[in-house]
Structure 1
Amino acid sequence: MAIDKNTSWKTTLIISTSPQCDEASQILLAQRHRIRRSDSILSSSFVCPLSGTAFLLVTSEEFPAKLENAEYFERIEKFVQVHRNSFLLLQAPVYGKREWEILSSVQNRFLGCKLRVIPVHSTADVVKGILVIAKATSKPNVANLRDQMSLACTHIIDHSPVWGMLQEMQF
């Protein structure tokens, strides 16, 4: 099965009208993705309807000084309740002690929840992360990905020295 890597993948994204999304929106438009702005989705969020994923962009400066403050976590909780495949993109140019504390606090708070936290450094990383996840989880690509994973597993089993040794031992 040959995959044409020259075909460029395009998708539609619904983006909140918050100013925080403007730079990412410009990058997505430059890559010729279709953008729809909406006031009805949570501020600083991106929704990929074809893949069923949603991303909430948060900077470390937005978090209160005291991480015990439940007000900001309520915003994230609302986002998680609305979207079934939710990702929190925590953006910081450099990850110091405070950023790792924020990351740890969010992960502990939403442990066992369907929220996945992704640390990013720049707006380019934000766009790249959104597009990679959206493409991998979109309808036509998810089947191809499953097929490739199945082939990779078969190849590993067929060429594994451990598997060969077990067959010789008749296990």
Structure 2
Amino acid sequence: MANGNVNVSWKTTVIISTSSLCDEASRILLAQHHKIRRSGSILHSSIVFPLSGTAFLLITPEEFPASLEEPELFKRIEKFVQVHRNSFLVLQAPVYGEKEWKILSSLQNRFLGCNLRVIPAHSTADIVKGMLIIAKATSKPSVETLRQQMSMACAHITRNSPIWEVLQKIQL
């Protein structure tokens, strides 16, 4: 994963809504040999990685009205955030112009302080790659490995810090 590629040997089960917005992502995940479970009971246009506890809601700029204050869409997003503890909203647009940045800003302002992270994406391939990186990093075996590596990195930085040496010399 050092080169930025997702480890292809990692396979997981993915629950995908029956929404047509998720069809291309489903095809990409299937091509990578992940187990796909289609469900009409999860929120429209959402993708859930049960082993890592992460969920992604796919939204396009076309779903937002001109006023950016559509109560139905925000109710759907709020329900998504309430259901999933580790939630990501992916705003997919091939090009990010003024409208897309306003939508992104509106979403971030509206959901500031909650557990929703907003991710801009250009293509479905980018979305799938990002989802897999996040899901793998937060899945049980990988999260323990990352925690251990971070702990070792912190210890190494502390041991080799010139500030730490100065503090030891003045006996603090």
Smaller-chain TM-score bracket: over 0.9
**1: CA distance, partners of 2:7 / 2:70:** 48
**2: CA distance, partners of 1:112 / 1:118:** 16
**1: CA distance, partners of 2:138 / 2:121:** 20
**2: CA distance, partners of 1:126 / 1:7:** 16
- 1:35-82 Cα offsets, whole Å, 9 max, x none, are 000011111100111011110011112111111222211110111111
Structure 2 regions of 5+ residues with no counterpart?
1-5
Residue in structure 2 matched with residue 18 of structure 1 by the alignment:
19
1:67 aligns with 2:68: yes
Residue in structure 2 matched with residue 150 of structure 1 by the alignment:
151
**2: CA distance, partners of 1:6 / 1:47:** 19
Residue in structure 2 matched with residue 104 of structure 1 by the alignment:
105
**Runs ≥4 residues deviating over 6 A:** none
1:13 match: secondary structure? strand
Residue in structure 2 matched with residue 52 of structure 1 by the alignment:
53
Task: Count how many residue pairs are aligned between Structure 1 and Structure 2.
Answer: 167
Q: 2:8 touches 2:32 (CA, 8 Å); kept in 1?
A: no
**2: CA distance, partners of 1:7 / 1:64:** 39
Task: State the shift of 1:149 in Å.
Answer: 0.5
**2: CA distance, partners of 1:98 / 1:163:** 49
**2: CA distance, partners of 1:127 / 1:38:** 18
* TM-score normalised by length of structure 1: 0.93
**2: CA distance, partners of 1:95 / 1:158:** 44
Task: State the shift of 1:127 in Å.
Answer: 0.3
Structure 1 regions of 5+ residues with no counterpart?
none
Task: Please say which of residues 135-144 and 6-15 is displaced more in the overlay.
Answer: 6-15
**2: CA distance, partners of 1:7 / 1:29:** 12
**2: CA distance, partners of 1:170 / 1:7:** 50
- 1:17-46 Cα offsets, whole Å, 9 max, x none, are 111111111110111111000011111100
Residue in structure 2 matched with residue 134 of structure 1 by the alignment:
135
Quick one: structure 1 residues 7 and 62, their matched pair in 2 at CA, closer, same or farther if it must change by over 3 Å? closer
Task: State the shift of 1:105 in Å.
Answer: 0.6
Residue in structure 2 matched with residue 8 of structure 1 by the alignment:
9
Task: State the shift of 1:6 in Å.
Answer: 7.1
Task: State the shift of 1:84 in Å.
Answer: 1.2
**2: CA distance, partners of 1:150 / 1:87:** 26
**2: CA distance, partners of 1:146 / 1:92:** 34
Q: Tell me the percent identity.
A: 74
Quick one: structure 1 residues 110 and 6, their matched pair in 2 at CA, closer, same or farther if it must change by over 3 Å? closer
